[in-house]
């Protein structure tokens, strides 16, 4: 590694060290032999507890050799279908063992089960590392990247045969069954005399890892088929590119985080305070609008409206189970089969859209219409697409580990996210601002009272977690007998001190929050003065 590269890498490491000092929930790790670097802030880890049902490993830098920074990201999707960050890495050593170390380190940082599915670039080293660490995770190669490499390796075919591209794309994206895909693939191979093409043979051998018809039974979090085109470079697109240097990286990294968090807050606000336009008087559409986020509802509404042109025709009965054939009017050759159990109110469709995206398809909705099912059964309301996706009861609050320090950092991050929402709302008007300030003052009093209560606990006092400070007599006895209670008391004292330090940090963040609100108030006041002066000038 060059001296200049080491110097700029040191800049990144210094940032990571400072970040961890400011927030113990910020984690980073450096591979001893390979030199790779991984980091994740508490928000990344918290987000994974909500939306860890699919993972994308973004290695855009490897596909564009002009990139100056080997920057990779672990990403996913939130309930608004927006990209979400789960962690970052600098990959200075691209070996099988280094990728395995990175995946294992990321998984340990998340302190949660591995994702059910992962999307990566088509690469042997990454594939092997995934199989070693995520043993039960369904691996998918990025379809757009397969297309891109096919265009590069078969450039002569694309140039000589203008129809090849459309036929190839249709074979991949428009076939509905494995048999249909196989027939279409064989036809293309024979028509263009490509039986001996090594590249096509290699991607055919792994067709179960990238061709849609073979992977639709697994959730990948995409509401629309074309979302996959940008998924491997979605979170940092526009922030980190080939011109980004190591010295610029941290600044661009923070800009991307701030930008997407702001977009999520705005989407949360719109979901909570506005209603989409209904296209039918159906109670099912109204139900979906009240539960889904805007992005999820728009997709559901598209499918729901399409039921008007997709009649369901019963083809067989067996007790409580009925089989239907559903096809768009005039396109009977493109039909789908729906099996419906009226006893369990359960249906499955051959298109597997619900399994793949988490939104129910038009074919099942057409059967529901035929069976007079007026509201969506709860099994088809996937929580991750609802407005309440990040709302949990007390018993559901995420806990990353038994470490008190980590638990406190997670609590801090949750409080910060909630406070940010109130900043957004509190700045909208003077009246709302005053309400927010009063609420903060009241909350500050309660926090101070609780802190004083804990700090003022005397020997023999029972804490909220059920533990007690030992009495003086008990302390003397314990000291005399070297009883384990001494160690317990020491632990309680240490935790109490840590809690006090955390309370002090919270006070600092509260002060910052109040400062932001006051700054907004001042800016609005100055703006109103300018408007008033402008009006006076016009009158003169």
Q: pLDDT by residue (tens digit) across 369-402?
A: 999 999 999 999 999 999 999 986 544 444 444 4
Q: Which helix (H) or strand (E) holds 8?
A: helix 3-22
Distance separating alpha carbons of residues 164 and 411, to the nearest angstrom: 56
Residue 418 has pLDDT above 80, yes or no: no
C-alpha to C-alpha distances, 389 to 174, 260, 267, 294, 310, nearest whole angstrom: 32, 17, 13, 13, 31
Confidence of residue 521 (pLDDT cuts 50, 70, 90): low
Confidence of residue 477 (pLDDT cuts 50, 70, 90): very low
Distance separating alpha carbons of residues 174 and 195, to the nearest angstrom: 22
Q: What 3-state DSSP class applies to 50?
A: helix
Instruction: Tell me what pLDDT residue 238 has.
Output: 87
Distance separating alpha carbons of residues 325 and 332, to the nearest angstrom: 9
For residues 448 and 538, the answer to whether their CB atoms sit within 8 Å is no
Residue 480 has pLDDT above 50, yes or no: no
Higher pLDDT, 478 or 43: 43
Q: pLDDT by residue (tens digit) across 312-328?
A: 999 999 989 999 999 99
Domain ranges in the chain are 3-138+244-263, 283-385, 396-539
Q: pLDDT by residue (tens digit) across 152-192?
A: 999 999 999 999 999 999 999 999 999 999 999 999 999 99
Q: How many CA atoms lie within 13 A of 220 on its CB side?
A: 30
Q: Which helix (H) or strand (E) holds 288?
A: helix 283-291
Residue 476 has pLDDT above 50, yes or no: no
What are residue 329's phi and psi, to 5 degrees?
A: -55, 125
Neighbours of 301 (CB within 10 A): 19
Higher pLDDT, 436 or 252: 252
Instruction: Tell me what pLDDT residue 62 has.
Output: 78
Confidence of residue 478 (pLDDT cuts 50, 70, 90): very low
Percent of the chain whose pLDDT exceeds 90? 58
Q: How many residues does the chain have?
A: 540
Instruction: Tell me what pLDDT residue 401 has.
Output: 44
Neighbours of 306 (CB within 10 A): 15
């Amino acid at each position: 590694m060059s001296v200049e590269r080491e110097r700029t890498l040191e800049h990144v490491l210094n940032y990571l060290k400072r970040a961890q000092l400011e927030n113990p929930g910020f984690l980073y790790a450096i591979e001893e032999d390979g030199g790779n670097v991984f980091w994740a802030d508490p928000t990344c880890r918290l987000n994974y507890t909500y939306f860890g049902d699919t993972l994308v490993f973004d290695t855009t830098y490897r596909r564009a050799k002009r990139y100056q920074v080997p920057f990779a990201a672990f990403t996913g999707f939130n309930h608004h279908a927006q990209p979400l960050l789960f962690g970052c890495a600098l990959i200075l050593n691209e070996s099988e063992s280094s990728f395995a170390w990175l995946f294992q380190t990321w998984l340990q940082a998340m302190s949660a089960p591995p994702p059910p599915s992962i999307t990566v670039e088509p690469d042997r080293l990454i594939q092997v590392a995934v199989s070693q660490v995520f043993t039960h995770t369904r691996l998918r190669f990025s379809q757009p990247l397969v297309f891109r490499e096919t265009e590069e390796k078969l450039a002569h075919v694309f140039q000589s045969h203008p129809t090849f591209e459309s036929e190839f794309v249709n074979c991949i994206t428009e076939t509905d069954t494995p048999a249909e895909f196989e027939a279409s693939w064989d036809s293309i191979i024979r028509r263009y005399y490509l039986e001996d093409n090594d590249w096509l043979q290699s991607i055919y051998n792994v067709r179960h890892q990238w061709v849609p018809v073979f992977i639709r039974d697994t959730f990948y979090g995409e509401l629309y088929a074309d979302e996959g085109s940008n998924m491997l470079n979605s979170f940092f697109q526009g922030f980190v590119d080939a011109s980004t240097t190591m010295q610029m990286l941290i600044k661009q990294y923070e800009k991307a985080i701030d930008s997407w968090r702001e977009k999520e807050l705005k989407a949360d606000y719109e979901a909570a305070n506005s209603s989409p336009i209904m296209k039918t008087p159906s109670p099912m559409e109204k139900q979906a609008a009240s539960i889904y986020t805007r992005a999820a509802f728009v997709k559901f509404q598209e499918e729901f409206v399409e039921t008007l042109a997709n009649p369901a025709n019963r083809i067989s009965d067996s007790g409580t189970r009925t089989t239907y054939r559903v096809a768009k009017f005039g396109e009977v050759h493109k039909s789908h089969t729906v099996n419906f159990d009226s006893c369990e109110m359960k249906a499955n469709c051959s298109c597997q859209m619900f399994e793949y995206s988490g939104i129910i398809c038009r074919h099942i909705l057409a059967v529901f219409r035929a069976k007079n099912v007026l509201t969506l059964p709860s099994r088809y309301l996937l929580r991750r697409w609802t407005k309440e996706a990040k709302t949990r009861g007390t018993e559901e609050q995420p806990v990353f580990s038994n470490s008190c320090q980590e638990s406190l950092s997670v609590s801090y991050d949750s409080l910060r996210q909630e406070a940010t929402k109130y900043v957004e709302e509190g700045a909208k008007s003077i009246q709302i601002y005053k309400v927010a300030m009063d609420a903060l003052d009241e909350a500050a009093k309660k926090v101070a009272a609780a802190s004083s209560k804990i700090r003022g606990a005397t020997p023999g006092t029972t804490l909220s977690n059920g533990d007690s400070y030992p009495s003086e007599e008990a302390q003397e006895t314990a000291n005399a007998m070297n009883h384990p209670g001494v160690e317990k008391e020491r632990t309680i004292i240490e935790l109490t001190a840590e809690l006090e330090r955390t309370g002090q940090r919270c006070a600092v963040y509260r002060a910052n929050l109040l400062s932001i609100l006051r700054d907004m108030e001042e800016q609005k006041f100055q703006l109103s003065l300018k408007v008033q002066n402008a009006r006076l000038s016009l009158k003169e």
